[in-house]
Amino acid sequence: MMLVATVFMLAATAFLIARNEELIFLGRGELSVARDRADPDTIVFTWRDKVEAPMARRFEEAWREWKNEGSRVVIDLHSPGGVIGEGERVIRVIDRMKRTHVVDTRVRGRRACYSMCVPIYLQGEERYAAPNASFMFHEPTAYDFYTGEKVDQPQFEKDMMSRKFFEMYFVNSPMNPSWGQRLVQDWKGKDLFYSGRELVDQDSNIVTVLE
């Protein structure tokens, strides 16, 4: 009986570890850059952390070092999202990459791209994802600059902030406009989660290639 209980506990623990692996972000602000083993002409930028400083600086430094190498960059993401301003700075670095290189993005199996990670992911010409990759969308949230605490905004300010965020990062993105309109209707006060397969099945045009 004891053996059965022990086996059950180990199985349950293994399940919980696998289930929550996508929520573990261990990058500690470090960007990993390497050539793709299968395609030496492709440079892979791997980010496993929040969208916050020093992400943009890491991308800038790495691009300065690798910009004369290869012809394609794949940005491999696993991030819970973060700060809008930092994400915007990362996108500006990606825009410079696109002047000379094809830039694609990827979210691997049981990995996640939440919140401000999604606008970065949308910068890819091809956007790869595993069927069980996880994506999350929600309205932007205001935080106090000094305390880091969430600010309770009046509803009109929340609506204005959400509208600006949507227009800046989704209206002129590859996102299917009709899917985007459904998103606007559904995301008020919610965190909306979708798998890579669901985004393809719903014709969102967020994920272009399931792998």
Go through the domains of the chain in sequence order and give each one's CATH number.
Answer: 21-210 (3.90.226.10)
201 phi and psi angles, rounded to 5 deg: -60, -30
pLDDT of residue 151: 55
Instruction: Of 181, 201, 204, 191, give the one whose Cα is nearest residue 139.
Output: 191
Structure tokens that stand for 90 in this block: 């990362």
Cβ–Cβ < 8 Å for 107, 196: yes
44 forms beta bridges with 34, 74
Instruction: Of 142, 199, 191, give the one whose Cα is nearest residue 165.
Output: 142
Q: pTM of the full predicted structure?
A: 0.85
Task: For residue 51, give the 3-state DSSP assignment.
Answer: strand
pLDDT of residue 125: 99
pLDDT of residue 122: 99
Cα 118 to the center of its chain, rounded Å:
4
pLDDT of residue 162: 82
183 forms beta bridges with none
Cβ–Cβ < 8 Å for 101, 44: no
Q: Print pLDDT tens along the chain (211 aa).
A: 443 333 333 333 333 334 444 445 555 788 999 999 999 999 999 999 999 999 999 999 999 999 999 999 999 999 999 999 999 999 999 999 999 999 999 999 999 999 999 999 999 999 999 999 999 999 876 554 444 445 566 665 667 878 899 999 999 999 999 999 999 999 988 999 999 999 999 999 999 999 9
The three-point CA angle 142-184-23 to 5° equals: 60
For residues 103 and 124, give the distance between their C-alpha atoms in angstroms, rounded to a whole number: 5
pLDDT of residue 158: 67
Residue in the block written with tokens 């919140």:
115
pLDDT of residue 10: 35
